[in-house]
């Protein structure tokens, strides 16, 4: 837990610096670079904070599943954002600097986390009914929540954070002012 707290402070600092760099950027490329970096670090910090909260509070029984649902929701939503928006923007940004990203590298990285990333898709019903959207069928909501486990959620969270950091590292370096 102590190492995780240290990591949380590191990510907090990186997030704050990225926002400062974004706000100070004077050209379109640097603004886009730091904006993408801010988005990825928002996700990273959000997931890390959720993991720390669960570790710190140590919920038991059904309350543990309820405590995990915001993390499941964040992971599900961010996975969609990553695939539909962030990865294509990173690729376009790199291309604008004549630093093409071989998409096979991204596919290969995703394959490393195939099991965990596939689990995100399996959580669609959970996300739709129980993680921020409350359906009318409460029994179904309870069944879905009871089916999630801490180890599974934390495994998916760790994998997706690693994948996100990989994508972040693909960004061609940005500077506050014109590069």
pLDDT at 176: 47
Task: Give the whole-angstrom CA distance, residue 128 versus residue 77.
Answer: 11
Tell me: pLDDT of 4 over 80: no
Question: Is residue 19, in this structure, part of any structural domain at all?
Answer: yes
pLDDT score for 3: 53
pLDDT digits (tens, 9 = 90+) for 42-58: 988 888 888 888 888 99
pLDDT digits (tens, 9 = 90+) for 137-160: 899 999 999 999 999 998 898 888
Q: Would you say 132 and 73 are in contact if contact means Cβ atoms under 8 Å apart? A: yes
Number of Cβ within 10 Å of residue 14's Cβ equals 17
pTM: 0.81
Domain that holds residue 28: 2-170
Q: Where are the alpha helices (DSSP H) in the chain?
A: 2-24, 28-57, 61-81, 87-96, 103-112, 114-122, 124-130, 138-146, 150-170
Q: Would you say residue 179 lies in a domain?
A: no
The tally of domains found in the chain comes to: 1
pLDDT number for residue 110: 86
**Contact between residue 178 and residue 30 where contact means Cβ atoms under 8 Å apart:** yes
Kindly state whether residue 177 falls inside one of the protein's structural domains: no
Task: Tell me what the mean pLDDT of segment 113-127 comes to.
Answer: 85
Note whether residue 96 is domain-resident: yes
Q: According to the 3-state scheme, what is the secondary structure of 41-78?
A: HHHHHHHHHHHHHHHHHCCCHHHHHHHHHHHHHHHHHH
**pLDDT tens-digit series, residues 75-97:** 998 888 988 999 999 998 888 88
Task: Indicate whether 94 belongs to any domain.
Answer: yes
């Amino acid at each position: 837990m102590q190492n995780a707290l240290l990591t949380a402070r590191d990510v907090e600092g990186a997030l704050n610096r990225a926002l400062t760099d974004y706000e100070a950027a004077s050209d379109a490329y640097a603004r886009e670079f730091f904006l993408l970096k801010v988005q990825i670090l928002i996700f990273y910090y959000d997931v890390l904070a959720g993991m720390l909260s669960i570790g710190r509070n140590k919920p038991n029984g059904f309350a543990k599943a309820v405590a995990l649902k915001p993390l499941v929701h964040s992971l599900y939503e961010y996975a969609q954002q990553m695939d539909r928006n962030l990865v294509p923007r990173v690729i376009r940004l790199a291309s604008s600097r004549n630093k093409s990203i071989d998409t096979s590298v991204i596919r290969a990285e995703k394959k490393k986390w195939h099991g965990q990333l596939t689990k995100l898709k399996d959580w669609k019903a959970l996300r739709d009914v129980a993680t921020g959207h409350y359906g009318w069928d409460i029994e179904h909501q309870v069944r879905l929540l009871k089916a999630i486990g801490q180890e599974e959620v934390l495994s998916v969270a760790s994998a997706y954070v690693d994948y996100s950091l990989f994508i972040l590292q693909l960004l061609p370096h940005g500077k506050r002012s014109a590069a």
